[in-house]
């Protein structure tokens, strides 16, 4: 792989913001492809070249990639709702068509290698077993549009590999860590917890990955990943109760007393989805039927392939929570309990 410009899409997202910093640390010349000039502070003070392009515009994507040696494609429209037909079309056009444009432009510009960010939601699931790279995706389960489009994205990567492009899929679990500028769903939970505004929570569990680990995983996939292969990156499985204990440790606040019934919340989310949110199908919400269902699946992931082939060594989830908290404090999104008025 020759030296040259490294392009990162989705650089203002949680994954992208951590990855850009990791690349700059190792001295790479980084170009970021942004959707618009409206930024969220993720790139403030960073020595990066900015270009603007909509993933759905193939010519704009091709122009943004011109002169690059390698590409990390992290951009995606993430959603935990079904949405209406227009929402589904937007998710598809951004995630699937957008990736096709990246892959086609990479072939046109003879890019050395492309790493495409994947999602655990596009990986096969069997109750009682840890998901791994060879577990087939069952298309007739109740998938959200986001998860299904990420599955289709992997299919496009395999097609590009068959055509000779050096492309690898780096699969992410739910991210926890610093540089969460939106912030993410879990970032908002931590902020609310730190301010005593989280009154209740739903038990469940998921496989989590620290911002530091997922960024390092992408770098390892670029360095050592085999073309046409998929690698899962996670830090650890944790229940929501485990997370509440970690939040208590970093914030000094007690956890919410109310532990809601997941079955009740699932039913309420389903009712809301078919009544209130039918009138406002694309309105953001904290608890969607999809989000509750994901927590109740208690999915675990196997990252042995990444460890064996790439030398991946995950850190500690507790460190990721600590780093997320400290970064929110630094940016003024969390006021430490010791400084809050009583």
More confident residue, 296 or 251: 251
The token duo for 98 is: 């957008």
3 state SS for 173-200: CEEECCCCCCCCHHHHHHHHHHCCCCCE
Residue 317 burial by CB count (10 A; 0-12/13-18/19+): exposed, middle or buried?
buried
The token duo for 202 is: 């739903």
The token duo for 43 is: 């790139």
Q: What are phi and psi of 33, to 5 degrees?
A: -100, 115
262-320 pLDDT, tens digit per residue, is 655 555 555 555 554 455 555 455 556 656 666 677 889 999 999 999 999 999 999 99
Q: What are phi and psi of 28, to 5 degrees?
A: -80, 150
Domains and CATH numbers, the chain: 5-183+208-237+300-317 (3.40.50.720)
pLDDT of residue 220: 98
Whether the model pTM is above 0.75? yes
Q: How far apart are CA 341 and CA 72, in angstroms?
A: 44
H-state helical runs in 210-239: 211-224
């Amino acid at each position: 792989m020759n030296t040259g410009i490294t392009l990162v899409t989705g650089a203002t997202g949680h994954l992208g913001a951590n990855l850009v910093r990791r690349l700059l640390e190792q001295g790479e010349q980084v170009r970021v492809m942004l959707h618009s000039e409206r930024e969220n502070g993720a790139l403030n003070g960073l020595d990066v070249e900015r270009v603007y392009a909509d993933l759905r515009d193939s010519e704009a994507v091709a122009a943004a990639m011109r002169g690059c040696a390698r590409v990390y494609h992290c951009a995606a429209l993430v959603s935990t709702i079904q949405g209406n037909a227009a929402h589904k079309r937007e998710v598809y056009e951004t995630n699937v068509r957008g990736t096709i444009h990246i892959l086609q432009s990479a072939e046109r510009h003879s890019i050395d290698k492309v790493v495409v960010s994947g999602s655990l939601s596009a990986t096969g699931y069997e109750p009682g077993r840890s998901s791994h790279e060879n577990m087939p995706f069952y298309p007739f389960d109740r998938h959200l549009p986001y998860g299904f489009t990420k599955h289709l994205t992997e299919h496009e990567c395999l097609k590009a590999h068959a055509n000779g492009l050096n492309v690898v899929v780096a699969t992410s679990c739910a991210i926890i860590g610093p540089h969460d500028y939106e912030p993410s769903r879990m970032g908002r939970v931590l902020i609310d917890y730190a301010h005593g505004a989280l009154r209740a929570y739903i038990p469940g569990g998921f496989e989590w990955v620290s911002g530091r680990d997922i960024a390092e995983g992408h770098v390892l996939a670029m360095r050592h990943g085999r073309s046409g292969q998929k690698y899962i990156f996670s830090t650890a499985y944790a229940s929501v109760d485990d997370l509440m204990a970690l939040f208590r440790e970093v914030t000094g606040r007690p956890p919410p007393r109310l532990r809601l019934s997941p079955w009740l919340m699932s039913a309420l989310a389903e009712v809301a989805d078919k009544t209130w949110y039918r009138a406002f199908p694309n309105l953001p919400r904290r608890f969607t039927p999809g989000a509750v269902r994901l927590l109740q699946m208690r999915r675990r992931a196997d990252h042995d392939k990444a460890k064996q082939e790439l030398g991946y060594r995950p850190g500690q989830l507790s460190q990721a929570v600590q780093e997320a908290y400290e970064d929110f404090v630094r940016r003024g999104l969390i006021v430490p309990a010791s400084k809050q008025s009583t």
